[in-house]
Amino acid sequence: MNQQFRYLLRVRYAECDAQKVVFNAKYVEYMDIAVTEFFRVLWGNYTDTLDKGMDMQVVNVNVDWMAPALFDQVIAITVQNKRIGNTSFTLQLGFFNHQTKQQIAAGEITYVMVSAIEHQKIKVPENLRTKLETGASGMVVNHAGVEII
């Protein structure tokens, strides 16, 4: 877990359901937040990508749950490249209790590169491909988007 990009967040009360665990739909939201911070580390703000005429659309999301996440726990979400195709790429995410290191869930999210205005498929640009392949190994970022040293 320590070699991959990690995003740390604390579970808030409003994210829990009547069973007193993180509501299942929140995991996709957590994935989006962690991936956004992963992208920020790799190539800057999302608006920078749009300004270059590119965008990414989610075409597939999967989550496998292994253990509950509870209110006030800190979750470490790892993000790494799994596959890069011609016009799409898939990221692999892991959810861990930051204190105990117990795995809570695993997920995958697939994006398709599109033009920012027409939303037509485009090739993954070489500079983005290289950055995805390199990743952000060892980088740890918190909920404020601040690197933790």
Q: What CATH number has the domain bearing residue 101?
A: 3.10.129.10
| DSSP states of 5-43 | EEEEEEPPGGGB-TTSSB-TTHHHHHHHHHHHHHHHHHH
Sign of the C-alpha dihedral computed for residues 34, 39, 44 and 46 taken in this order: negative
Q: Is-contact 11 70, C-beta < 8 A?
A: yes
In a domain, 67, yes or no: yes
In a domain, 43, yes or no: yes
DSSP annotation of 87 reads: S
% of the chain exceeding 70 in pLDDT = 98
pTM above 0.85, yes or no: yes
- Across residues 138-146, what is the average pLDDT? 83
In a domain, 135, yes or no: yes
Mean pLDDT for the chain? 93
In a domain, 147, yes or no: no
In a domain, 146, yes or no: no
Count of the separate structural domains present in the chain: 1
Polymer length of the chain = 149
In a domain, 148, yes or no: no
Residue-range definition of the domain harbouring residue 9: 5-141
In a domain, 65, yes or no: yes
pLDDT tens-digit readout, 2-55: 578 999 999 999 999 999 999 999 999 999 999 999 999 998 888 888 999 999
- Checking DSSP bridges between strand 54-65 and strand 88-97, what pairing results, if any? unpaired
In a domain, 104, yes or no: yes
Sign of the C-alpha dihedral computed for residues 44, 47, 53 and 54 taken in this order: positive
Identify the H or E element spanning 54.
strand 54-65
